[in-house]
Chain A
Amino acid sequence: MEFFVIFMSALLVNNFVLSYFLGICPFVGVSNRLDSAFSMGMAVTFVMSLAAVVSWAIYNLVLVKYGLEFLEIVSFILVIASLVQLVEMFIRRMSPVLYQTLGIYLPLITTNCAILGVALLAVLKQYTFAETVVFSVGAGLGFTLAIVVMAGIREELDAADVPAPFRGAGITFITAGILALTFMGFSGLVR
Chain B
Amino acid sequence: MKGEVSLGKEFTKGLWRENPVLVMLLGLCPTLAVTNSVKNALGMIGAVFFVLTCSSIMVSLIKKLVPPQVRIATYIVIIATFVTMADRFLAAYFPALSKALGPYVPLIVVNCIILGRQEAFASRHGVVASVADAVGMSLGFGIALMLLSSIREILGNGTWLGVPIVKGLFTPWQVMILPAGAFLALGVLVSMVRYFKNR
Residues of A within 8 A of B (CB): 18-25, 28, 70-74, 77-78, 81, 111-113, 116-117, 120-121, 124, 164-166, 169-174, 176-178, 180-181, 184
Contacts and interface: CB of A to CB of B under 8 A. Distances in A.
- The secondary-structure label for the interface of chain B is helix
Contact of B194 (A81, A165, A178): A165
Contacts of B76: 77-78, 81
Contacts of B88: 70
- The secondary-structure label for the interface of chain A is helix
A108 to B, nearest CB: 11
Nearest to B83: A73
A126 to B, nearest CB: 13
B112 A173 contact: no
Nearest to A182: B180
Contacts of A176: 183, 187
A180 B84 contact: no
A174 B191 CA distance: 10
A111 B182 contact: no
A77 B109 contact: yes
B180 A113 contact: no
A164 B179 CA distance: 26
B80 A74 contact: yes
Contacts of A120: 103, 106-107
A99 B183 CA distance: 33
Contacts of A170: 187-188, 190-191, 194
Nearest to A166: B191
18 contacts: A18-B180, A19-B179, A21-B179, A22-B29, A24-B28, A25-B29, A73-B83, A77-B76, A81-B76, A113-B29, A113-B107, A120-B107, A165-B195, A170-B187, A170-B191, A172-B187, A173-B186, A176-B183
Interface string B162-186: 0000000000000100111111101
Contacts of A72: 84, 106
Nearest to B116: A111
Contact of B102 (A23, A124, A177, A180): A124
A136 to B, nearest CB: 14
A124 B105 CA distance: 13
B21 to A, nearest CB: 11
A120 B110 CA distance: 13
Contact of B178 (A165, A173, A184): A184
